[in-house]
C-alpha cells in the first residue's frame, strides 16, 4: 500500500493510525498542502477531490478517509477497529462521526484560507472561529464519554473512535484549544500516545515533516 498524505493533515493522520493498528505495511508519500501539490494535474487525475489522503491499495486509488478506514476494516478483518456488539458499534460510530462530520468541514485548511482571502479575517479571528467550532462538538463528546464512564479507551482497546479523535486533538492543541474541562479525552489521548502504533503515526515522526528533515 502507498499512502499519499500530509504529515499534519488530520485525515492523513487517521489513515496512518488505522494502518498501524491493523498491522498493515505501507509506504508514506508526502503531498505538500502548503505548496498545493494536491491540486496538481498528476494528483487530481487520480483523486478528483484534490484532497489527501490518497491510498493506493489492491490496484485502486482510494479517496475520502472515512470510506478508506471502513474499507480497510472490511477488507482486512484482523484487528478490527469496531467492537463486535451492535450497541457498542453504534456508540463508536456516534462519537466518531460527530468529530468526522461536524468538525472536518469548517476547520479544513481551504476554509481557513478562504476566511482570510475572501473575508479579510486576521489569524486571531481565524483562531477564534476554529476554537468555536471545536467547542461546539468536543464539549458534547466529552459529556458522552463521562456518561459512558470511559477508561483509557472508549472500549478495551483503541479503535475507530481513537483513530479519529487523536488527530483532532493534535490539531486542536495547535490552536491552543483549552482541554482543561475534558479529562476523558485527555486521558484517552495520553493512553494512545503511549502506544507504539500511535507514536509511529504521529506527525512528528513523518518523513515529510520539515522539522524532522532538519534534524
Return the pLDDT at 212.
75
Return the pLDDT at 161.
98
Return the pLDDT at 108.
84
pLDDT digits (tens, 9 = 90+) for 99-130: 999 998 898 888 998 899 999 999 999 999 99
Mean pLDDT to the nearest integer, 10-16: 97
Mean pLDDT to the nearest integer, 39-67: 95
- Of the pLDDT bands very low, low, confident and very high (cuts 50, 70, 90), residue 213 is low
The x, y and z cell numbers of residue 25, run together, are 505495511
pLDDT digits (tens, 9 = 90+) for 147-196: 999 999 999 999 999 999 999 999 999 999 999 999 999 999 999 999 99
Return the pLDDT at 78.
92
Residue 26 pLDDT > 70, yes or no? yes
Q: Give the Cα separation of 100 and 80 in Å (integer).
A: 19
Q: What angle do CA 108, 150, 153 make, to 5 degrees?
A: 60
The x, y and z cell numbers of residue 36, run together, are 498545493
Rounded percentage of the chain residues whose pLDDT exceeds 90:
90
pLDDT digits (tens, 9 = 90+) for 66-109: 999 999 999 999 999 999 999 999 999 999 999 999 998 898 88
For strands 27-30 and 60-62, give the pairing. Answer: unpaired
Q: Give the Cα separation of 14 and 43 in Å (integer).
A: 20
What is the SS3 string spanning 91-127? HHHHHHHHHHHHCHHHHCHHHHHHHHHHHCCCHHHHH
pLDDT digits (tens, 9 = 90+) for 196-212: 999 999 999 999 998 87
Q: Give the Cα separation of 186 and 113 in Å (integer).
A: 29
Mean pLDDT to the nearest integer, 125-145: 95
**HSE (CB half, 13 Å, CA atoms) of 91?**
16
Q: Which of 19, 30, 16, 38 is nearest to 202 (CA)?
A: 16
DSSP three-state, residue 184: helix
Mean pLDDT to the nearest integer, 28-32: 95
The mean pLDDT value of the chain amounts to: 95
Q: Give the Cα separation of 193 and 212 in Å (integer).
A: 18
Q: Sign of the C-alpha dihedral, residues 15, 72, 37, 127?
A: negative
Q: Give the Cα separation of 61 and 45 in Å (integer).
A: 10
For strands 2-5 and 27-30, give the pairing. Answer: parallel
First to last CA, the chain: 27
- Of the pLDDT bands very low, low, confident and very high (cuts 50, 70, 90), residue 214 is low
Contacting residues for 199 by C-beta, under 8 A, at least 6 apart? 193, 205
Amino acid at each position: 500500500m502507498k499512502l499519499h498524505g500530509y504529515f499534519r493533515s488530520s485525515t492523513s493522520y487517521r489513515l496512518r493510525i488505522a494502518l498501524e493498528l491493523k498491522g498493515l505495511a505501507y509506504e508514506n508519500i508526502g503531498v505538500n498542502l502548503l505548496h498545493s501539490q494536491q491540486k496538481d494535474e498528476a494528483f487530481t487525475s487520480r483523486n478528483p477531490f484534490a484532497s489527501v489522503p490518497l491510498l493506493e491499495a489492491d490496484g485502486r486509488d482510494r479517496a475520502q478517509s472515512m470510506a478508506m478506514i471502513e474499507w480497510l476494516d472490511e477488507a482486512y478483518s484482523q484487528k478490527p477497529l469496531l467492537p463486535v456488539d451492535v450497541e457498542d458499534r453504534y456508540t463508536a460510530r456516534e462519537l466518531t462521526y460527530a468529530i468526522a462530520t461536524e468538525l472536518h468541514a469548517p476547520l479544513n485548511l481551504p476554509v481557513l484560507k478562504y476566511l482570510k482571502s475572501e473575508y479579510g479575517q486576521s489569524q486571531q479571528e481565524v483562531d477564534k472561529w476554529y476554537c468555536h467550532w471545536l467547542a461546539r462538538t468536543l464539549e458534547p463528546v466529552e459529556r458522552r464519554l463521562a456518561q459512558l464512564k470511559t477508561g483509557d479507551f472508549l472500549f478495551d482497546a483503541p479503535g475507530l473512535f481513537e483513530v479519529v479523535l487523536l488527530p483532532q486533538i493534535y490539531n486542536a492543541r495547535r490552536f491552543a484549544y483549552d482541554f482543561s474541562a475534558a479529562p476523558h479525552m485527555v486521558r484517552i489521548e495520553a493512553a494512545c500516545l503511549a502506544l507504539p502504533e500511535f507514536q509511529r503515526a504521529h506527525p512528528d515522526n513523518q518523513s515529510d515533516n520539515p522539522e524532522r528533515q532538519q534534524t
